[in-house]
A and B are shown apart, each in its own frame.
Chain A
Amino acid sequence: MSTASTAAGVTSLPVMRALRLEQPRRAFVAQLMGLPVSVHVRGPRATGPAVAALVQQLFLALAADEATFSTYRADSTVSAIRRGELRIEHAGTRVREVAGLCDEATRRTAGAFSAWLPGPDGSRLFEPTGLVKGWAVQQAFDALCERLVDLGPHDALINAGGDIAVACARTDTPDWRIAIEDPRDRTRTLRVESLRTGAVATSGTAARGAHILDPATGSPAHGLLAATVVGPSLLWADVYATAAFVHGTRAVGWLRDLPTYRADLVAPDGSITRVIQQA
């Protein structure tokens, strides 16, 4: 062990990497919002009760948001808004915050994202689900990372149904390695994104069929098999991935203008277009 510490003090990064001791790691899984949510924590106290309690707090926060925002639960605030019993301006702060972010998302995506989707009778109902997941997960994850600081430096990763946020407070650990699923064959991956901090979100039809609606037409979007967006925030990576999927092959021009986000678009013939913001 003394070799490791002396070497780390004087030699270059690859040696430090080679000599680093692997940190304890633990994964936690809960089913929330109809999604599997896994949280991984890496660091000296990852397997202890304090970290487990903090992750439970994260799951509880997500469960609370689910109770407020679910469109499947008749007793949720959003269901009351959809039935016309409550106006958004009279709802709680979190609902108003989400409604505001939905409007911003519509602006940022040139209309490809909308929280007002046409229902079966053509009237538009409040449907913020597409934004709520990324927003709620990012907030709960940020809160977890803040609380982890008190336990010493730890890294963390959250995966909510295929959308991922990561953070690293340690400097002696490998990057988180996020594989991007191949939409043509879900047992394969297209590539691996190495990240220390940030988010990866993918929109596509591989898991649930054609469920992403184009707000302009109300019909399922097609044109791409999948869109993956990488960037600093899960909220926006998720919104942009959905919007890129809706934009289809026209997404390239729009994505190029997004600061700090980059994207992979998979066309039906399997070809991949990588869009990186121009410097």
Chain B
Amino acid sequence: MRRISYWVMSTFSALVILFSYHTSTNSMAAASPTPLTPADTGGSTGTAAPAATTNSTTTTTISGSYTGSQVNTRWGIVQVQITVVNGKITSAQAIEYPNDNFRDQQINAYALPILNSEVVTAQSANIDSISGATVTSNGYTSSLQSAIDQAHQ
């Protein structure tokens, strides 16, 4: 549980740093990421406190939506929310970000979807299928798709 929290925190920090980088054409932001706190139940974000889903096994997993603290960057306030299901980040989005001028909007329209997919990808062995240059039957057995298929057969 504690390990996952650290891991979630470090991903969150990376996300804030990434964000600062994308919105900046200058040097790195002096943003120091602040610890992650679970969102209040019934809060304005409408998300839940970590709902620990306990299976009949002894594994405890962490699930829920987490909203990070607001971070002041040189370009404005950034706040990020992640959704965790069974210990894996399934989505990450900036719920507050600089939006004051056209340039900010332009950069963010491009950066935010990438940010989401990059964060999710970064911890992902959790893939259903691979799209790539056409795989032939001969090349199949050594492919990642073959491994995924076997896991579900």
- The chain A residue with its CB closest to the CB of B121 is A192
A208 at the interface (CB under 8 A from B): yes
Decide: B64 and A207 in contact? CB cutoff 8 A. no
In whole angstroms, what is the CA distance A25 to B149 when docked? 11
In whole angstroms, what is the CA distance A12 to B143 when docked? 39
When A12-B46, A15-B48, A35-B137 are in contact, do A207 and B132 touch as well, CB less than 8 Å?
yes
B140 at the interface (CB under 8 A from A): yes
By DSSP majority rule, is chain A's interface helix, strand, loop, or mixed? strand
Interface string of B111-152 (1 = CB under 8 A from A): 000100110110010111111111111011001111011111
B108 contact set on A, CB distance < 8 A: none
A15 contact set on B, CB distance < 8 A: 48, 51, 64
How big is chain A's contact interface, by range?
35 or more
Decide: A18 and B51 in contact? CB cutoff 8 A. yes
Decide: B121 and A189 in contact? CB cutoff 8 A. yes
Decide: B128 and A176 in contact? CB cutoff 8 A. yes
B105 at the interface (CB under 8 A from A): no
B136 contact set on A, CB distance < 8 A: 34-36, 161, 207-208
Decide: B145 and A40 in contact? CB cutoff 8 A. no
B47 at the interface (CB under 8 A from A): yes
Taking a contact as CB atoms closer than 8 A, the residue among B65, B120, B137, B146 that contacts A192 in the complex is: B120
8 residue pairs, one from A and one from B, having the closest CB atoms = A181-B132, A18-B63, A204-B133, A27-B152, A36-B140, A206-B133, A207-B133, A14-B65
B47 contact set on A, CB distance < 8 A: 12, 14
* 18 intermolecular pairs with C-beta atoms under 8 Å apart: A18-B48, A27-B152, A31-B140, A157-B129, A177-B127, A178-B128, A179-B121, A187-B144, A189-B130, A191-B114, A191-B117, A191-B118, A193-B117, A193-B131, A206-B132, A208-B133, A226-B132, A226-B133
How big is chain B's contact interface, by range?
35 or more
B24 at the interface (CB under 8 A from A): no
Q: Which of A161-181 contact B (CB under 8 A)?
A: 161-164, 166, 174, 176-181
By DSSP majority rule, is chain B's interface helix, strand, loop, or mixed? mixed
- The chain B residue with its CB closest to the CB of A238 is B134
A29 at the interface (CB under 8 A from B): yes
Taking a contact as CB atoms closer than 8 A, the residue among B124, B133, B140, B145 that contacts A205 in the complex is: B133
In whole angstroms, what is the CA distance A164 to B120 when docked? 20
In whole angstroms, what is the CA distance A7 to B63 when docked? 14
A186 at the interface (CB under 8 A from B): yes
In whole angstroms, what is the CA distance A191 to B135 when docked? 19
In whole angstroms, what is the CA distance A202 to B126 when docked? 20
Decide: A178 and B126 in contact? CB cutoff 8 A. no
B8 at the interface (CB under 8 A from A): no
A217 at the interface (CB under 8 A from B): no
In whole angstroms, what is the CA distance A10 to B136 when docked? 49
A19 at the interface (CB under 8 A from B): yes
B63 contact set on A, CB distance < 8 A: 17-19
Decide: B131 and A17 in contact? CB cutoff 8 A. no
In whole angstroms, what is the CA distance A202 to B120 when docked? 21
Interface string of A20-52 (1 = CB under 8 A from B): 000001111101001110101000000000000
Decide: B133 and A189 in contact? CB cutoff 8 A. no
A201 at the interface (CB under 8 A from B): yes
Decide: A162 and B48 in contact? CB cutoff 8 A. no
In whole angstroms, what is the CA distance A205 to B132 when docked? 10
B131 contact set on A, CB distance < 8 A: 159, 162-164, 178-181, 193, 200-202, 228
In whole angstroms, what is the CA distance A18 to B85 when docked? 6
In whole angstroms, what is the CA distance A192 to B129 when docked? 10
When A14-B47, A14-B48, A35-B137 are in contact, do A162 and B132 touch as well, CB less than 8 Å?
yes
A123 at the interface (CB under 8 A from B): no
A159 contact set on B, CB distance < 8 A: 129-131, 145
